[in-house]
Structures are given as C-alpha cells and as structure tokens.
A and B are shown apart, each in its own frame.
Chain A
Amino acid sequence: MTELGAIVADARERLVARARREGLETVGYRIIDSPLGPLWVAVGPRGVLSIHYGAEPSPLELRRIVRAYGPGVLPDARRVDDVARELDQYWSGKRHEFDVAVDLSPLTPFQRKVLAVTSRVPYGELITYAKVAHRAGNDRAYRAAAGAIGDNPIPIVVPCHRVVASDGTLGGYAGGLDAKRHLLKLERGAAVPPGGWPPAHLSRS
C-alpha cells in the first residue's frame, strides 16, 4: 500500500467509527479469506446478514440488504470479527456449530422456515431437499424449498451444503459444487463418492 493509501485506510477507520456512533452505519462488511477463496461478509444490527462467495456481493444481494436496512452499508472490519473468528475455527475443524446470530429477517416467511430447518442439520450429517420441505411443514413444496436453499444468503453458517438430492447426489450450491464437496469432505472426513452417497447415508427423521 502507498503512503497515501495507508493514511486513507486509517482515516476510513475513524470515519466508519464516527458513522457508527452517529447511527449512519447500519451494516458493516469486510472481505475475508477462506480455503474457498474470498468471502464478502456483512453483519447488521441483528446478526450476520450475508456471506457471499467472492469479493463483492451480487447487486441482488446488496439491494436486499439496502431494502431492509437502508444505504448505511460500510466497510467495517470490526463488526465482522466474531463471525470471521468462528469461520476460522470451522475451517480448522475446531468448531462444529456457529454461535453468532444470523439475521434472516429480510427473507420471506417460507424462506426463513426452510433455512431454520437447514440450520438444525448437525455437522457432518446430510438431509434431502424433500425432507427439508417436510420439516418446514409442506411436503409438496420441495422445489420451493430447494429454491430457498439455493438462495441462502448465509451459506456455511446456515449449512445448506448439508442438503442433497433424494438419490444422494449433491444437487446444487451457490458457491459451486467444488465448494460443496470441500465443505462436506471437511465435515465428514472423506471425499464425496462419485455419484454421491447411497440414500442410507441421508437423514431419515
């Protein structure tokens, strides 16, 4: 970083702290490194709002945040510290559950219900899209459930990577199937078999 760049970075920290004190900042974000590449992470007044694969959020994601919390979305490393620390522990295998609060309030009631079910799937276990729909109270809505899981704004912490198709194949993943394989290998200690897992591996309850 140039001397001017470093000075501006310092000045920015003070500016963001003032904006926070004056109630102008509603959401803080930061780009964090991960074994799956950079993640854009945003934290709002009620908890983690977004973990986006890549260094920039999608315009859709940003509009969703701005609709819920206004334009006060600022780069703020400090606000992201807690979730960044928990993610580090997760990547090193030391954390199996996240303690940080998540904020699903900008989503529809059905999306919230589906993601609440997804959040309860334990570390290393698998569940099918159909089973998530069932637990969310609507057996027939498995496509809609799959849609809600695909749009999960807080992957990893809300572990949508643990949701697979009924035949044991991986289904989809916002971060790409390689990312999903990486997460499942980390949690289950073994590479995803070609063609996925036999249905016997999937949660039956």
Chain B
Amino acid sequence: MTHPTTFGDLLEQHEREIYAYALRLTGDRDDADDVYQDTFLAAFRAWPPPRRGAERAWLYRIATNKAIDRGRRAKKFVRLGDLPIAAPERDGVSLADLATAVKTLPTGQRAAFVLRKVQGLSYAEVSHALECSEEAARSRVAEAMKKVKEAMR
C-alpha cells in the first residue's frame, strides 16, 4: 500500500475497514458513522500521517479513542441491529461472538477483541492502536476472549 499523499489517498485506502471497525465496535450505524467521520477529520487535522506503513494503526488508534469517548458519553443500552452489515469475515469468530463482545465488554476491551480477532491486526498493531505495550495488548485480548466465552456459555 502506498504512503498517502493526500487526504483522498488515506480515505480511499482505509475508509472501508475503519467504517467496518466502527460498526463492529458500536453495533449501530449512526454511532459508526460518527466514529468514522470523527476519525478521518481528526486524521486530516493532524496531517501528515506517521511514518510509512504506520498510518493504518494510527487510524485504528484514533478510531478506538473516538469510540471510547463516545462510549463514555453514550446511553447505556446497546443496539445491535446493524451489526450483521459488518459480520466478521474471519474463521473462528462468528457474528454471535461479536454481538456478545459488543453487549458484554467495555469499549476498551471490546476494541482489543475486535482489533485482533476480527480486524486481524498483529499484536504490534493492536498495541499501537491501544497505546499500550505488546504484552498488555496480548493480555487484554486474552481477557476479552475469556469474557466473551464465559458470556456465551
């Protein structure tokens, strides 16, 4: 993937996965729309992106922070109606797993779960997106997985 020269490059290269990520984190199209917009506008304002190859994790970091901020402000009940639009495309994670994660995990832990298990980021990228060490990222993902499994029993 080429290093973006313009906002348009950044948008065209990453908007789909960032939107899907936002939808998987929030379960709701309106919320996802806000996270997607806030993420890219923040990225444009913070231009230029970080070093070549790091812009994807950078966007995930912004999106995660935007989703956590919204989670703090948002209502307590969770709507999952729009989740099937971004049903996971990976082996080992089902739509039911994702719905359980959205319902039961706090936004930060949910982000760890979705980044690793659904978006398929490496632990190095997850740690960058969550602004923590790789070890902490591993343990957050493991913890999130454990909670999802427990909740599904």
Contact = CB atoms under 8 A, between A and B. Distances in A.
Interface in B1-57: 5-8, 11-12, 15-16, 19-20, 23, 29, 33, 36-37, 40-41, 44-45, 47-48
B86 interface: yes
A3 B85 CA distance: 7
A66 interface: yes
A7 B5 contact: no
Interface residues of A, number: 25
Which among B5, B7, B33, B86 has the greatest number of chain A C-beta atoms within 10 A?
B7
A8 B12 CA distance: 11
A29 interface: yes
Interface string A114-144: 0000000000000000000000000000000
Contact of B6 (A4, A5, A74): A74
Contacts of B19: 4, 7-8, 11
Contacts of A12: 11, 15
A29 B7 CA distance: 11
A89 to B, nearest CB: 27
Contact of B37 (A3, A18, A72): A18
A3 B23 CA distance: 13
A47 to B, nearest CB: 19
B10 to A, nearest CB: 9
Nearest to A28: B8
B151 to A, nearest CB: 26
B36 A11 contact: yes
A66 B3 CA distance: 14
Nearest to A72: B7
Interface of A: 3-5, 7-8, 11-12, 14-15, 18-19, 22, 24-25, 29, 59, 62-63, 65-66, 71-75
5 contacts: A8-B36, A66-B5, A71-B47, A74-B6, A75-B11
